[in-house]
Chain A
Amino acid sequence: MNTSRKLTMARAISEAIAQEIERDDRVFVMGEDVGIYGGIFSATAGLYEKFGPEQVMDTPISETGFIGAALGLAMEGMRPIVELMFVDFFGVCMDQIYNHIAKNIYFSGGNVRVPLVLMTATGGGYNDAGQHSQCLWGTFAHLPGLKVVIPSTPFDAKGLMISAIRDDNPVIYMFHKGLMGLGWMTLIKDTTGPVPEEPYTIPFGRADIKREGNDVTIISVSMGVYQSLEAAKELERAGISAEVIDLRTLVPLDRETIAESVKKTRRVLVVDEDYLSYGMTGEIAATVMELAFDYLDAPVKRLAVPDVPIPYSRPLEQFVLPSAPKIVEAVKELLYS
């Protein structure tokens, strides 16, 4: 694959959807302002112009209604991509997600297929307060019946989206607003990354070792991967070799790659922009205990959002979110204390 071309994550996602619509006219996009507006975070930019209102459908502000409708479309053999504008809005439609979308295959004894992608925006760091800044992937990963996909690079974003669309199970696809490469809101230095032009898939349940190292394993998803890679550079200057694992999907979870890495490095830090308690960091820590306990030289360390709503105030928000300097500090504590 030619990887000389660089795209933002937003472009990578919309290109993936466009290519899948061209390949299969059952692929269908719906959500609030996904059409004429192009999606608030540009994940569907250009699709309405290209494919028209029959296939790129603007909906009322009725998340229960249109996310439930996407399930009906999927059961009929369509392949809807339905956008929940901010994951924080899950509260008004969680019955559809938790009780209907995630359970209908089961209730039908395996007869119904639900090829549905629930695409949603996550993440904070731009002072949008507690109803627009959460990640919540732990909440969705907790539930049997959904697959949970979280890209951290434009390359992964395209391949994982194509895999999600072609999957016959419901997939929640969670992009981070700050990684989308939007001119009006960017939280990263490199807003673009290499993305091959042709369609490609990335299998679920296979973590990606974004950087190899020997002294410590840093495990994360989404913005946390980006920050961990920044931290790894800094740690390298201090003579510490950090391995960075991007889980890419929480369901299915690649426990094997986690265990193999820990057996090599013997130390683990889990970085998560979701809440600390009962979440991803706890699940990874338990996995390490179950699969690699004897190899550990130190207890698993966790860096996640403490159990408070995301505050609006800049200093308070920065205090609760993970960052590269906090990762560096946590790794040093893990190694030297």
Chain B
Amino acid sequence: MSADRQKVASVPSQRSKDQFLELYRQMVLIRRFEERAAEAYTQGKIGGFLHLAIGEEPANVGVMAALRSDDDVFTHYRSHGQALARGMDPKAVMAELFGRATGVSKGRGGSMHLASLEHHFWGGYAIVGGHIPMAVGMAVAHQYTGSDRVVVCIFGDGAVNTGAFHEALNMAGVWRLPIVFVVSNNLYGMGTAINRSSAVTEVYKRAAAYNMPGVRANGNDVLETEATVREAVEKARAGEGPSLVELMTYRFRGHSMADPELYRSKEEVEQWKARDPIAAFRRRLEEEGIATAAEFEAIDRRVAETVDEAVRFANESPEPDPATLFDHVYVNP
């Protein structure tokens, strides 16, 4: 851990100003996008539950920043932020939330099932832990074909007590696959605190059971997240096998829009909000003289326009035609 920390501390000097501002832009985009999605949800425009990642933006953005564009991403149902950070079009993502024909999955999947092949974003999945085995399978394919692509599989702390987690990590360990498992530890599996559900609450330590390295990083620090994930990804790319990366983070909103949040105190949430990771990142860049308030405000304005446009696009997009109902149950011949 201490070696990693030193490396992370030196990161800012290695990055260009544009790169820092892009990380900021992505985090703000996720924040504004999800705030508008929440609004649309309360207006009845978005169905189901809607799981927001507000507060977890650095963990979303840092992971994607560490990947090559042809690396493969599998993730869970709290995935709007990851999809946006991966470069998916906010219009098509918002349209999918609205269930429209123009959505990334043509209105078949909704908020929890965003997928875009051109972004090697293989989907959000709504069964806790259920996607971990298929991520392992894609890594088997890369190993078989000799590809140097790496698979990254993201899940929450709630997923680590499923059988799928154990089976998948064991296989990755046995076969030394090019995969990085990223657990986004926001301290709660729905409403159950991790110390009430896990015998070992330091998830990264479980890596020992699968003969792979486990590391923990501050998921609320986008640079530390990126550096930690990058190291694991490059290790996998070099044929040195899988890793488990635990990103410590916190969600500001409930598990879903329908969550009364009886399991944690308002004070706890307020304490985390006071340390808002986006604001902290911005402050740090300003203090280090990397960017000015005016530059951040310009980004904020641009993001607001992007999100407005996404909502407008989703609103104006057609609902799927019932005549297309049976499309995509099977691959069309």
Q: Which residues of A contact B (CB under 8 A)?
A: 28, 54-55, 57, 59-60, 62, 64-78, 80, 92, 95-96, 99-100, 104-114, 144-145, 147, 168-169
**CB < 8 Å: which of A65, A75, A100, A108 contacts B138?**
A75
Nearest Cβ on chain A to B40's Cβ, whole angstroms: 21
9-residue interface stretch from B109-117, B201-209, B248-256: B109-117
Interface membership of B106, Cβ < 8 A: yes
For A74, what are the chain B residues with a Cβ–Cβ distance below 8 Å?
Answer: 137
**B329 and A105 contacting across the interface, CB-CB below 8 Å:** yes
A320 to B196 CA separation, bound complex (whole angstroms): 47
Nearest Cβ on chain A to B150's Cβ, whole angstroms: 13
Residue of A nearest to B104 (CB): A109
For B122, what are the chain A residues with a Cβ–Cβ distance below 8 Å?
Answer: 75, 112
For A145, what are the chain B residues with a Cβ–Cβ distance below 8 Å?
Answer: 329-330
Can you spell out 10 A-B residue pairs with CB atoms less than 8 angstroms apart?
A57-B140, A60-B174, A68-B164, A69-B133, A69-B134, A75-B138, A76-B138, A92-B163, A107-B109, A108-B105
For B142, what are the chain A residues with a Cβ–Cβ distance below 8 Å?
Answer: 76
Supposing A54-B144, A65-B133 touch, asked if A109 and B109 sit within 8 A by C-beta, the answer is: yes
**B167 and A110 contacting across the interface, CB-CB below 8 Å:** no
**B133 and A67 contacting across the interface, CB-CB below 8 Å:** yes
For A109, what are the chain B residues with a Cβ–Cβ distance below 8 Å?
Answer: 103-109, 115, 328
For B328, what are the chain A residues with a Cβ–Cβ distance below 8 Å?
Answer: 105-106, 108-110
**A72 and B113 contacting across the interface, CB-CB below 8 Å:** no
**A95 and B130 contacting across the interface, CB-CB below 8 Å:** yes
For B106, what are the chain A residues with a Cβ–Cβ distance below 8 Å?
Answer: 109-110
The 6 A-B residue pairs with the shortest CB-CB distance, nearest first, are A68-B133, A72-B137, A65-B167, A69-B137, A109-B106, A110-B328
**B115 and A62 contacting across the interface, CB-CB below 8 Å:** no
**B134 and A106 contacting across the interface, CB-CB below 8 Å:** no
For B104, what are the chain A residues with a Cβ–Cβ distance below 8 Å?
Answer: 109
For A71, what are the chain B residues with a Cβ–Cβ distance below 8 Å?
Answer: 133-134, 137
Nearest Cβ on chain A to B324's Cβ, whole angstroms: 10
Interface membership of B269, Cβ < 8 A: no
**A107 and B123 contacting across the interface, CB-CB below 8 Å:** yes
For A64, what are the chain B residues with a Cβ–Cβ distance below 8 Å?
Answer: 133, 163-164, 167-168
Interface membership of B78, Cβ < 8 A: no
**B113 and A73 contacting across the interface, CB-CB below 8 Å:** no
**CB < 8 Å: which of B116, B141, B168 contacts A78?**
B141
A296 to B103 CA separation, bound complex (whole angstroms): 49
Residue of B nearest to A69 (CB): B137
**CB < 8 Å: which of A60, A67, A104, A144 contacts B123?**
A104
A295 to B220 CA separation, bound complex (whole angstroms): 71
Residue of A nearest to B147 (CB): A76
For A75, what are the chain B residues with a Cβ–Cβ distance below 8 Å?
Answer: 122, 134, 137-138
For A66, what are the chain B residues with a Cβ–Cβ distance below 8 Å?
Answer: 133, 137, 167, 171
**B164 and A65 contacting across the interface, CB-CB below 8 Å:** yes
A263 to B26 CA separation, bound complex (whole angstroms): 65
For A106, what are the chain B residues with a Cβ–Cβ distance below 8 Å?
Answer: 108-109, 328-329
Nearest Cβ on chain B to A45's Cβ, whole angstroms: 22
Q: Which of B65-93 contact A (CB under 8 A)?
A: 72, 74
**A112 and B115 contacting across the interface, CB-CB below 8 Å:** yes
**A100 and B127 contacting across the interface, CB-CB below 8 Å:** yes
For B163, what are the chain A residues with a Cβ–Cβ distance below 8 Å?
Answer: 64, 92
A106 to B125 CA separation, bound complex (whole angstroms): 13
